């Protein structure tokens, strides 16, 4: 599943014009470095094109996304440790979903809605409490 949520206002994004590095720190504190190639955006169909989720999915980095990346849950919660100013603005709809996220911080974003513009490298951390317990239980 993926694509656009017809019930929310479309987020304004600026896609990168040059390569940049996205570093994702996962729940086990492992670092995954991806060189984002603007020519390959969108990588897939999860989340906004060029979003953290879009990039993670294409590079085998696990980021929960229960709603498929349409801003209708908060399981893709990430904390942007560096480069937040190079990301699109958080919309009211995203902020509403983020309110449901455990451990919300001022740097929190939804991975499916957060689109870096490539003007600087970005570091995001996936909080350990993001873990989808239903999925982990089996």
* Positions in the binding site for ligand FES (CB under 6 A): 65-67, 69, 71-73, 75-76, 97, 110-112
7 CB contacts (<8 Å, ≥6 apart)? none
Nearer to ligand FES, 94 or 118 (CB): 94
Any idea which residue has 């990588």 for tokens?
A: 43
Q: How far is the CB of 111 from ligand FES (least distance, A)?
A: 6
Nearer to ligand FES, 24 or 67 (CB): 67
d(CA 88, CA 115): 6
Q: How far is the CB of 99 from ligand FES (least distance, A)?
A: 12
Tokens encoding 6? 């017809």
Q: Is 65 exposed, middle or buried (0-12, 13-18, 19+ CB in 10 A)?
A: buried
Tokens encoding 39? 């020519």
Q: How far is the CB of 17 from ligand FES (least distance, A)?
A: 25
Nearer to ligand FES, 72 or 95 (CB): 72
Nearer to ligand FES, 86 or 98 (CB): 98
């Amino acid at each position: 599943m993926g694509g656009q949520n017809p019930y929310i206002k479309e987020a304004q994004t600026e896609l990168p014009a040059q390569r940049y590095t996205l570093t994702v720190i996962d729940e086990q504190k492992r670092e995954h470095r991806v060189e984002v190639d603007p020519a390959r955006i969108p990588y897939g169909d999860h989340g906004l094109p060029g979003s953290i989720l879009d990039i993670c999915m294409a590079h085998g980095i696990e980021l929960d996304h229960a709603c498929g990346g349409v801003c209708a849950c908060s399981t893709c919660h990430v904390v942007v440790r560096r480069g937040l100013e190079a990301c699109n603005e958080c919309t009211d709809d995203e902020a509403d979903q983020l309110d449901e996220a455990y451990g919300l911080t001022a740097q929190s974003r939804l991975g499916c809605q957060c689109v870096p513009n490539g003007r600087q490298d970005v570091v995001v951390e996936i909080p350990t409490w993001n873990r989808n317990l239903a999925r982990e239980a089996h």
